[in-house]
Structure 1
Amino acid sequence: MEEAGPLREALFYDPDPPKVHCRLCPWHCHIPEGKVGVCRVRMNEKGTLFSLNYGKVTGLSIDPIEKKPLRRFHPGSQILSFGSLGCNFDCGFCQNYHIAHRDDAEFRLIPPEEALRLAEETKVYGNIGIAYTYSEPSVWYEYIIDTAPLIHEAGMKNVLVTNGYLEAEPIKDMLPYIDAVNLDIKGFTEDYYHGVCKGRLEPVLTAAKLYKSACHLEVTTLVVPGHNDREEELVELFDWVARELGRDTPIHLSRYFPQYKFKEQPTPRETMLRAGELARERLDHVYLGNI
């Protein structure tokens, strides 16, 4: 990975000589000298853990808030959207694999103060703040924890679009500055998370409840044929969202198309429509995407 730009000492790690123990996400990587963790953007350099993607922006755009997707948070507004490098999952269908899983992605250095300036300058286009999106924002933690308070103090909004794979302590430290979250619940079995996403379900559900307790939350599930589209599994997901997050929690059901390592045919429209029917029996705000 290109190392131009600042190396920011990472948060949430402990010495574990000759390694360091990263406590940011549920992987709890024990990282040897000169190596990186699962996310590929946190490196042990002589016993100090550094964030390698601090300030590195691979995607920058003004998007409709509905594209995050957030349908019940300042509808009709625009939001300045930032993405970086790295991810702590390896989903076989990743739509942004070219920045999440490649070390040679081009980037632009944007320190927090410049991010604030860009956010304020784009108010004329209806911008309400910054969305940390495109790649996984949890592994961009140090940049967000430095940038989000500036945006918050300026009276603008901070939005996360995330897989939810972050430990409770860093979530709680960030929550005072976060206004809205779209969180992926990618499936509703541990087998799905382990086999398809290379992670675990339980920490994601814990994160969802934390976010719901403190800010606006919407949930997204990509419906992948033959993997997480069984009616029984979908019903379990919808029942859990209604019970644990509230039936007023918006859910977005997105249609899968082949990407990255997955070559399966797109999700049949009939499957999407049936999933929508099952969701609406249990939840008040159901949206179908990519159909």
Structure 2
Amino acid sequence: MTASAQVLCDVCPKFCRLREGQTGFCRARSNIGGTIVPNNYGQCTSIALDPIEKKPLARFYPGSFILSYGSYGCDLRCPYCQNHEISMAGREIPTRKITPEGLCDLAVDLSRREPGNLGVAFTYNEPLICWEFIRDTSQLLHEVGLKSVAVTNGGITRKYADLVLPHIDALNIDLKGFSEDFYRIVKGELEIVKDFIGNAVEHGCHVELTTLIIPTVNDSPALMEKEAEWIASVSPDIALHLSRFFPRYQWNNLPITSARTIFTLRDIAKKRLKYVYCGNL
């Protein structure tokens, strides 16, 4: 392979073509020796035992706790990201190395203590850009009777979704908004996310969705009608979480979402869906 040869990374729909040593848009996958490798494999930036409701998952073992693991990198560029310090970072950020075996052992140890631990949630940054670590760890978790959870934007191609979804028990997927215009803002693709949601349901995963409601951007009642109608067409049993926007990162000049807006959109969504939750009120 010549020094100028490029290799395609097809994990997300950015389809980065990378020269030797070059890192992709996600800041976590690079061309090393002609192979695309995840630089953030087992590189831990954040770890904590959280209530399962914090993911948020309302209908998956409610009242339980789960070990939350995060690395660095993301394939989106949300200008309001609440975890931008790690999601927008690359290899320059300090990390602690942990193997799938080490993470599984920690999860098992916590499961024997109070308040107990359900398994591992891959979260904080975008976990699916290192789908290999999720697969490898989840296989070990299942061998010892623990659960695997992913909190994701769903921006992974079908090829890799089909490789990792059989190993995941539950997901909370960020459905950022229900228009391609909004997804252009965050540098993503709505149709890819919709396909991932449907695919996760077909794989038998427990699926819940979260939409962060941002004033003047994605708070249209008409969009919520379309979103709820589409979700119901996949499965009316999918729980939808509606969350308030608070100024973050680059979008610090927009107002906080009013509780009234959240309640209005909740009432619209509940016409189609069985389970709609209002978060962070």
The bucket for the TM-score relative to the shorter chain is over 0.9
Q: Which amino acid aligns with 1:71?
A: A
Q: CA deviation at 1:175?
A: 1.9
Say whether residues 1:131 and 2:121 are aligned partners: yes
The answer to whether residue 104 in structure 2 is matched with residue 116 in structure 1 is yes
How far off is 1:16 after superposition? 11
State the match for 1:250 in structure 2.
Answer: 239
Q: Within 2, Cα distance between the matches of 1:26 and 1:41?
A: 15
Aligned to 1:147: 137
**Structure 1, residues 95-152: CA drift from partner, whole Å, max 9, x if none?**
1000011233322111111001100000123201000001101112121121110011
Contact 1:65 1:74 in 2 (8 A): yes
The alignment covers a number of residue pairs equal to 275
* Conservation of the 8 A alpha-carbon contact between 1:25 and 1:167: yes
Displacement after TM superposition at 1:235 (Å) = 0.8
In the alignment, which of 261, 279, 286 is matched to residue 276 of structure 2? 286
Output the CA distance in 1 between the equivalents of 2:12 and 2:34. 19
Q: What code does the residue aligned with 1:68 have?
A: K
1:73 equivalent in structure 2: 60
Alignment partners' CA distance in 2, 1:190 and 1:17: 34
Task: Give identity over the alignment, percent.
Answer: 43
CA contact (8 A) 1:180 1:215 kept: yes
Which of 183, 194, 203 pairs up with 2:192? 203
DSSP-derived class of the 1:288 partner: strand
Cα RMSD (Å): 1.4
TM-score by length of 2: 0.95
Q: Distance in 2 between matches of 1:68 and 1:82?
A: 12
What is the CA–CA distance in structure 2 between the aligned matches of 1:261 and 1:81, rounded to whole Å? 26
- The answer (yes or no) to whether the contact 1:84–1:140 under 8 Å persists in 2 is no
Provide the residue aligned with 1:82 in structure 2: 69
Are the equivalent residues in 1 in contact too, given 2:27–2:89 (CA < 8 A)? no
Which runs of at least 4 in structure 1 moved beyond 3 Å after TM superposition? none
**Residues 255-283 of structure 1 deviation map (CA, whole Å, 9 limit, x = unaligned):** 00001111211111211110111111111
